[in-house]
Amino acid sequence: MAYRFSRRIVSTPKSFIRETLKATQAADIISFAGGLPNPECIDTAGIGRAAADVIREDGKRALQYATTEGHEPLREYIAERYRRRYGLDAQPDEILITNGSQQCLDLIGKVLIDAGDAVAIERPGYLGAIQAFSLYEPVFQPVPLAPDGPDTGVLEETLRTHEPAFFYGIPNAQNPSGITYSDRRRRECAKILAEYETVFVEDDAYGELRFDGKAMVPVARHLPGLGVMTGSFSKIFSPGMRLGWIYAPADLYEKLVIAKQASDLHSNYLSQRILSRYLEANDIDAHIATIRDAYRMRAQVMVQSMEELFPDGVAFTRPEGGMFVWVTFPEGISSLELFERALAHRVVMLPGVPFYTDGGGESTGRFNFTNADPETIRKGIGIIGDLLREMRG
């Protein structure tokens, strides 16, 4: 059949990560490619108890249709945590439960982007956001990242010249770079965005995973009426249950609810009820602290291994949280070629090219440290280091 596909789907790229992961499922592969939480950090026993309690006590309602906005106690829990951690005046009627943070991006794109609109995004930018927004046919305007956040000069020029629908960024442990915006950069960004009355879509998927456990004030705190935050339970609870949320001002919230009604009516209600019960019965802060400890140790092992086993001329970030180290190879080293060579040696990293909306990134790569044990991390980094020496001749 010669199907007549829409322009938007033809112009939307496949997920490089998803396609790569298909090729890396063998048990003997050392994978630094994905962004998978460590399975040892998922509380299967606690989730099992919560699920049994929900089915036993209120199973018929938990298995029924529900409201688009989401389970009220869960929305109140998220709002209260915002109030307590960040000093935000969040209310439950500003919280929309979604199918993971990826649906947040899709709904935001659906509500705010018309074909041809400019969208400002970090450079390098999160691949999942690039794919989600691409469906709505924007023109991406990349804003380079400095070691402590966006280049605010470029940001201001972008807002002045292109009037983007919004600026999308990840201030905490940015994906893919691993950098965290400084407080100064957050305030500068908020000041500029307020001046041009531009929405900031603040993806906070990794805010709970700061290794020092200290919450950083979000940009939204300095940007009333223009700050939209997205969050996810995938990194601190269960990725498979696909639960995230959007925190948005009232007028935008109303449109997001309409878009979600048209998309899927509501997110998985049973999963919401199980999560809500789990949060009632367990100390989530203690659980998150355990995850942070595990990830901090793995990040240290990866960075130390790169210091010892990579050749001179390779630069890499030293993340304060999250799941990734961003590597810049010497000029002339192709990360796509390195990917192919490493795969032949049963090691996988992610080339940096797909994270750039305007070309570039040929000598960069993203390495995930959360889903491997320390011995495996060191072994895989050693193999990559040997390949880099071969490629340099």
| pLDDT tens string 114-132 | 999 999 999 999 999 999 9
Amino acid found at 143: V
Domain residue spans of the chain: 7-42+286-392, 44-281
CATH number listed for the domain at residues 7-42+286-392: 3.90.1150.10
Q: What is the CATH number of domain 44-281?
A: 3.40.640.10
Residue 28 scores a pLDDT above 90: no
Nearest to 132 by CA among 100, 172, 160: 100
* Whether pLDDT at 19 is above 70: no
Measured CA to CA, the distance from residue 97 to residue 103 in angstroms comes to 10
Quote the pLDDT of residue 104. 98
**C-alpha to C-alpha distance for 30 and 80, rounded to whole angstroms:** 40
Residue 78 CA neighbour count, 13 Å, CB half: 29
**The pLDDT of residue 150:** 98
Q: How many CB atoms lie within 10 A of CB 38?
A: 16
Going by C-alpha positions, the residue among 21, 198, 16 that lies closest to residue 121 is 198
pTM: 0.94
Per-residue pLDDT of 309-351, as tens digits, reads: 999 999 999 999 999 999 999 989 999 999 999 999 999 999 9
Q: What is the pLDDT of residue 202?
A: 98
Among the listed residues 159, 222, 221, 227, the one whose alpha carbon sits nearest the alpha carbon of residue 199 = 227
Using CA atoms, how far residue 117 sits from 134, 140, 243, in Å, is 11, 8, 29
- CA gap 349, 328 in Å, rounded: 13
pLDDT band at 16 (very low <50, low <70, confident <90, very high): low
Which residues neighbour 212 within 8 Å (Cβ) at sequence distance 6 or greater? 320
pLDDT grade for 9, boundaries at 50, 70 and 90:
confident
